[in-house]
Amino acid sequence: MNIRLRPATSHDLDALYRLEQIAFTGDRFSRRQLWHLLNRAHAETWVVEAAAAEAAGPGRLLGYGTLLFRQGSRRVRLYSFCVHPEARGGGLGRRLLEALEACAEARGSEWLSLEVRADNRVALRLYRRMGFRLERWLPAYYEDGCAAWQMVKGLEPGAMARAG
């Protein structure tokens, strides 16, 4: 499958909203929240899409991830991360996470943190393989009462610039 990774734009709002509805059963973002993340928040959202037949046209959205930046902080938060259920297991999550890490590094972040459902073994495996470590247990974190793990990974700011 030919895919493309790119920063999201406000034109992706409808596709992001549809993906939220497909990928999550609870704790979903509303259209308004997604719009805010794309347009107002100190955030950066990246999408992974199946490349369209026409190189310049948009493709089918297969996943997205959003980073939240706090002014004056060297720690960035992976606020949302999902891959379309039909596209899971093919390495898209890893590639998207690598792009988000590169984005965070380019902005000078030293740490990347996230929260993940304690019962999401697939995501926990991905994050561990990508170098994240368990930091803190968060009881009853999600709306359905499921606990979460907060995970963290050290980044190398400027690593991408040095490699290029």
Residues 98-142 have pLDDT tens digits of: 999 999 999 999 999 999 999 999 999 999 999 999 999 999 999
| Per-residue DSSP letter, 42 | S
Counting the structural domains of the chain, the total is 1
Q: Is the pTM of this model over 0.85?
A: yes
pLDDT band per the 50, 70, 90 thresholds, residue 158: low
- Of the chain, the percentage scoring pLDDT greater than 90 comes to 76
pLDDT over 90 at 26, yes or no? no
Residues 27-56 have pLDDT tens digits of: 889 999 999 999 988 999 999 998 765 444
User: CA triplet 52, 93, 161: central angle to 5 degrees?
Assistant: 90
Distance CA 80, CA 88 (A): 16
Query: Residue 109 is which amino acid?
Result: S
Look up the CATH number of the domain holding residue 101: 3.40.630.30
pLDDT over 60 at 57, yes or no? no
What residues make up the domain containing 10? 3-163
